[in-house]
Structure 1
Amino acid sequence: MRFSIILIIFVLFWLMLISRIYQISIKSNYYYENLAQMNIERKYFIKPVRGEILDRHGKLLAVNDIGFSIKIAPHLTKYDKILKKRVADTKLIKLIAGIVKEFPDLNQTKLITKYVKKDSSYNHRYIPVVDFIGYDGMIGAYPKLSINKSLKIESETKRMYPAGSLATHIVGYVGRSNLKENEKDPVVEKVGVIGKTGLEREYNNVLQGELGYRLVKVSARNKEVAELEKVDPKDDQNLVLNIDLGLQKRINELFVGQAGVAVVMGIDGDIIAGVSYPSYDPNLFVGGISTKDWKALITNLDHPFTNKIVGGAYPPGSTIKMGMALAFSKAGTAVESTEYCKGYITLGKSKHKFRCWSRYGHGQVGLRKAIRESCDVYFYNKALDTGINSMAKSLRKMGLGVKTGVDLPRERTGIVPDKPWKRKRFKQGWYRGETVISSIGQGYNLATPLQVAQYTAFLATERLPTPHFVDVIAGRKVEKKYETFEVNKQHLNTIRLGMYDVCNSQRGTARRTMSKLPIIVAGKTGTSQVVSIPQGEKKRMLESQLDYYSRSHAWLTTYAPYENPKYVVTVLVEHGGHGGSTAGPIAAEIYKWMANEGYFGDDFKGKIKLKDLTKKKKGDGHGH
């Protein structure tokens, strides 16, 4: 027994000894070999050039300006025992003074502060103090600065947006990356910038490309002696958009003095123009926006910083009525039967009046007339016969209350309410009166202008396209996508006739502005109330008599040509009063511009006289 114990101890001892010898002679050899390899090899990453963004005609919307950055060698600070912090030494002060002498616009104190903040005993890399100097500005200074071994001048690019504010909410902008963004993406960490909004953000992984690198052999003094390997970065991955910059410019001009949104979209989902007005210059954000400029943006009551195309949610008003009629039809409600409009309805014994926009009423109203003259009572009665849940189910199939799938970040869903939605949101039951006001796009209903444009494309074609701003991604064509929803074709045709009447018949609510265009347009006006109308008010005040921010939003959504739809034009004027008179002139001028540019064939190209609307007073208008 004793011998067995001694034998086991002996064997264990030798096993431990052999294991340790293996660790020292074999495994440690791998470790020290790798360490030695690291001491004689260096890997330098090569930053990719960010891809450009171009419009459909090749005009640049986002481009890279070529220039240089200036970096200073580390460890040029010292610890001040009195101040109890690191301060610049004499050499650093002289170096920065030399830089400022060449570039007087730079602030010496800020450059020193920037250096001191990043310098430490553990940092052995050159410290950037000047992020960008343009090529022309550096030409004269380069020979003087480059001979100083404590300075490193490297090629650099800076993002520029030649179109300025014309397409800001589509293109977006880049900015300096933060620590969280750096941790998520090694390319972002090395490049130092990332897309913050718009397509710059949505397609950041494409635009930024992939890092390249150089693997070099260095001497004991860290001097480069040979290049072992080089991999070029994957860069210049461009985006080509469906956007027409000329149309963007025209729409911006038409909105001067007003606030709102316009979306021009092909029936296949190609977005030709998208304007959220007012806008701002994205170049302000590239190097970091000033406090003054930022405050001016966020305190502007017209919200220039908000992308209203996908982020502005408004009551759709009467633009929802075509979808409502199809929802009634889908539920089996007799939409072909007429309703009598005396200017209002009441529910049960209640004296509360749900009024039509026309206090005199419309008399006997069928579906086509209800669309043409935007009779509210017709939709009140049909909605009560149908019920909110059935209405909501069909509207979501037509693109309302769900995201469009557009290639922009931060898209809002909008709201198409029903009983489960209200129970979840407010923990309350649903009332019949809420069904009534929902039928005309008021109450809880909210939609983005892009949702209304997509839904209008469905009305024109029976196909719901996925909207997209980008046409070509790094040489690859974007695939077009559609969804379908089966509706009663006869009822849809009647609705289209009503939309034709809106823009072309004597009693159409958009006839004045839309009936004299070179192409035939079909559409629907809408008014989204911002404030409720008191029950005791028998005669409605004119929108122009209201305080500006209490006026209703004005909608007009259209498609053309009527017989063979190609494009959708949707316009919302914030606090514009009524769609026909405020949104109508803008939509009409958009169609004229498009016809003049050949979008509807060569028959009209170059032959249309365009009107200047930039002198129109803010928010004035009348008509439903």
Structure 2
Amino acid sequence: MRRNNRRRSRSAEDAADFHDDDGKTRISRVNEGELDFYRRRAMRSSAVLLFFFAVIVARLWHLQMQRGEEYLKLAQNNRVRALDIAAPRGNILDRKGREIVTNRPAFNVVWAREGNRIDEALIKKVAAMLELDITELLARIRKMAGTPGHIPIRLAENLDWDKVALIENNRMELPGIRIEVAPQRVYHYGNLASHMIGYLGEISKDELKAAEPDFYRPGDMLGKMGLERLREKDLRGEKGRQYMEVNSLGFEQRNLKGLEPLPGNDLQLTIDVELQEVAEKMMTEAEYAGAAVAVEVNTGRILMIASSPVLDLSKFIGGISRKDWKEMLDNPRHPLINKTVQGQYPPASTYKIVTALAALAEGLVSPDSTVYCPGSYRFGNRTYRCWKKNGHGTVNLKSALAESCDVYFYHVGQRLGVNRIASYARHLGLGMKTGVEIEHEKSGLIPTSDWKLKRYGKPWQDGETLSIAIGQGFNLVTPLQLTMMTAAVANGGKLYRPSIIEMVRDSDGHVIEQFQVTELDHFTGQERNLRLIKDSLVDVVHGRRGTGRKAQLPGITVAGKTGTAQVVRLKQYKHLKEKDIPYNYRDHAWFTCFAPAEKPEIAVTVLVEHGLHGGAAAAPIAQAVMQKYFADRLPKTDTNGTESPSLSVPVVGD
């Protein structure tokens, strides 16, 4: 009872706190503090709400005002798809404007999938229509795994009209399958100059990673070899764009306005297709492996550059098969090697030009200096033999070059030494890259005493100089290097950088790049000595005992030098006739020349691998090339394709 009375008493007091004497309501000090607390809390809550509201407004303003156009484009892209249109590659022409490589429309089957799921039933139906192996089509599809679904997959290329019509007539049953029209390379002269021109192939994953990301896509074609690769940026052009409206599921609805592709630039080469055809035809018909090069003596323009066997470019289109690749690798004539710049061979007797020039320039011999050749030369405990067993008798520089006497150059080489010979060889461009715009060019090798010490850790032996003097031993040159050396001798000592590009023109015909003569070296002060050597080289072709008589042309004076490069000398084959020696052990055959000797215009070099003698195997090819070059200056009876009377002359020696 007391507790209840106390509670009632306290409640009455509390109630009294809310009323004043006049009966009006009043607030105690305690309740006033509580109201302040709630008021502050409400203000803080309002401030937080206002802050977040301001952030939202600012974000909306940013999206609408600052990035509105960007998001508008993204929204449009949800309904508009852009497809690349391949640009026609630039044409490749010869020096006279004749088309070597151009383009034509090709019809390809592509699958415009909308995801990465493989519809095997659809692919089987397409494979049956195209008469293709389904595993091949599935391999192409899997190769594109991971790429965006809107990028079409090319299932087949270069369809004939019957298959194009079959696909078009059944389009309703082939969702996503369509015919794509794309430019296809056309080789008007077949495999002509195949090593130089090269071929196209589908871009690989590694190439795609290294390529320009805004230009190339999976499935694109690009140059894989030769000029097609080296001049990819010139030839490729600029892609066009085809815009397609698609529905919410991504399926095409209608075509929109697009951008036309821009064709690539045209390459006009310094090559003459007629000279190229002559050289390649002769080497192919004779089943020769080797190289042939022709250049303008006074400019460095390459007129013909042939490597044999030629490449079958059709096997590389769409990717070469493992079987074909293995056959090329196993071929003993090595068709994959561009022998004009990658093949390195002992220069043999053609190197006697260098030895002769060095001896004249150093004053060690004169035009009247003579050496007696009994058929061999004894040096130390070894006998060095001449190619002519019975010897040449007494010879001077002119007759030694004309008859290719080894003993004469043994004597000269011994007096010169390897380092002085090497110095003159380098002035003539040997032992270094020419700088030509062809892939994988080799530098060759012109040895010195320091080179051997560094390479083998052994000093140079005097006997090795004798082999070097006649172009054997460590000496290695490429056919292009030897051609440029011959041109330098012919023009009075100027070494030019060889070129295969005459000009580059854009699709409107404007010239954007023009050939420029580039002089690499000028062998001054040797005009008299070079004239003497040139006169000696004329005797090689036109002299009674010359070794290059199969290069003669009626009415044209030809100067040249033969060479027989020893591959290996095995005792077990000494008793055999040359034709019975196994192919890989036969000597290489060289012939290098220029004409007209009085005022040189063209230099030609021919190398026939395992061809035995330059005068017999290589000289006729050089003669045919020059005959075509001088066709309008030869007697008409000799331009109808009949054999020149000079070809019936027997040839001995190099």
TM-score w.r.t. structure 2 length? 0.80
Deviation, structure 1 residue 571 = 1.2
RMSD: 3.4
The 2-side partners of 1:48 and 1:112 are apart by: 27
The 1-side partners of 2:441 and 2:310 are apart by: 18
Residue 159 of structure 2 is aligned to residue 134 of structure 1: yes
Residue in structure 2 matching 1:608, options 631, 634, 639 = 639
Q: Whose Rg is larger?
A: 2
Residue 583 of structure 2 is aligned to residue 514 of structure 1: no
Q: Secondary structure at the match of 1:378?
A: helix
Deviation, structure 1 residue 117 = 5.0
Q: Structure 1 residues 273, 502: CA separation in 2 closer, same or farther (over 3 Å shift)? A: same
Amino acid at match of 1:440: I
Residue 541 of structure 2 is aligned to residue 503 of structure 1: yes
Deviation, structure 1 residue 265 = 2.0
Residue in structure 1 matching 2:627, options 588, 592, 597 = 592
Amino acid at match of 2:566: Q
Q: Secondary structure at the match of 1:409?
A: coil
Q: Secondary structure at the match of 2:180?
A: strand
| Corresponding residue of 1:125 | 150
Deviation, structure 1 residue 411 = 1.0
Tell whether the 8 Å contact from 1:577 to 1:621 is kept in structure 2 after alignment.
Answer: no
Residue 108 of structure 2 is aligned to residue 69 of structure 1: yes
Residue in structure 2 matching 1:346, options 378, 382, 386 = 378
Q: Structure 1 residues 508, 188: CA separation in 2 closer, same or farther (over 3 Å shift)? A: farther
Residue in structure 2 matching 1:572, options 599, 607, 610 = 607
Residue 127 of structure 2 is aligned to residue 100 of structure 1: yes
Tell whether the 8 Å contact from 1:325 to 1:335 is kept in structure 2 after alignment.
Answer: no
The 1-side partners of 2:651 and 2:610 are apart by: 10
Residue 401 of structure 2 is aligned to residue 371 of structure 1: yes
| Corresponding residue of 2:503 | 472
| Corresponding residue of 1:202 | 230
Task: Note the residue ranges of structure 1 that are not aligned, 5 or more in a row.
Answer: 1-13, 79-87
| Corresponding residue of 2:9 | none
The Cα offsets for residues 418-465 of structure 1, whole Å up to 9 and x where unpaired, read as: 122223322322111121111111111111111111111111102222
Amino acid at match of 1:304: P
Deviation, structure 1 residue 297 = 1.2
Amino acid at match of 1:481: T
Residue in structure 2 matching 1:437, options 464, 467, 472 = 467
Amino acid at match of 2:157: F
Q: Structure 1 residues 490, 73: CA separation in 2 closer, same or farther (over 3 Å shift)? A: closer
| Corresponding residue of 1:251 | 279
Tell whether the 8 Å contact from 1:501 to 1:508 is kept in structure 2 after alignment.
Answer: yes
Residue pairs, 1:450-461, within 5 angstroms: 450-461=480-491
The 2-side partners of 1:418 and 1:541 are apart by: 36
Tell whether the 8 Å contact from 1:66 to 1:135 is kept in structure 2 after alignment.
Answer: no
Amino acid at match of 1:66: P
Deviation, structure 1 residue 543 = 3.1
| Stretch moving more, 140-149 or 380-389 | 140-149
Tell whether the 8 Å contact from 2:87 to 2:183 is kept in structure 1 after alignment.
Answer: no
Aligned identity (percent) is: 33
Deviation, structure 1 residue 57 = 4.1
Deviation, structure 1 residue 398 = 0.5
| Stretch moving more, 252-261 or 455-464 | 252-261
Residue pairs, 1:144-155, within 5 angstroms: 144-147=169-172, 149-155=175-181
The 1-side partners of 2:362 and 2:638 are apart by: 47
| Corresponding residue of 2:201 | 175
What number of residue pairs does the alignment pair up? 581
Tell whether the 8 Å contact from 1:214 to 1:231 is kept in structure 2 after alignment.
Answer: yes
The Cα offsets for residues 311-355 of structure 1, whole Å up to 9 and x where unpaired, read as: 1111000101112222233444334433333333333xx321122
| Corresponding residue of 1:446 | 476
Tell whether the 8 Å contact from 1:454 to 1:464 is kept in structure 2 after alignment.
Answer: yes
Q: Secondary structure at the match of 2:300?
A: coil
The 2-side partners of 1:606 and 1:96 are apart by: 63
Residue in structure 2 matching 1:550, options 557, 566, 585 = 585
Tell whether the 8 Å contact from 1:400 to 1:415 is kept in structure 2 after alignment.
Answer: yes
Residue in structure 2 matching 1:52, options 91, 97, 101 = 91
The 2-side partners of 1:219 and 1:74 are apart by: 14
The 2-side partners of 1:75 and 1:37 are apart by: 21
Residue in structure 1 matching 2:328, options 297, 306, 309 = 297
TM-score w.r.t. structure 1 length? 0.84
Q: Structure 1 residues 31, 335: CA separation in 2 closer, same or farther (over 3 Å shift)? A: farther
Amino acid at match of 2:223: G
The Cα offsets for residues 376-414 of structure 1, whole Å up to 9 and x where unpaired, read as: 222222222222222212211111111112221111111
Amino acid at match of 1:40: Q
Residue 410 of structure 2 is aligned to residue 380 of structure 1: yes
The 2-side partners of 1:290 and 1:216 are apart by: 36
Q: Structure 1 residues 517, 373: CA separation in 2 closer, same or farther (over 3 Å shift)? A: same
Q: Secondary structure at the match of 2:316?
A: helix
| Corresponding residue of 1:192 | 220
The Cα offsets for residues 167-225 of structure 1, whole Å up to 9 and x where unpaired, read as: 21221111122122222323344672222222212212211123344688988666789
Deviation, structure 1 residue 43 = 5.0
Deviation, structure 1 residue 578 = 1.2
Residue pairs, 1:82-101, within 5 angstroms: 88=118, 92-101=119-128
Deviation, structure 1 residue 554 = 0.9
Residue 566 of structure 2 is aligned to residue 526 of structure 1: no
| Corresponding residue of 2:444 | 414
Tell whether the 8 Å contact from 1:517 to 1:592 is kept in structure 2 after alignment.
Answer: no
The 2-side partners of 1:247 and 1:50 are apart by: 26
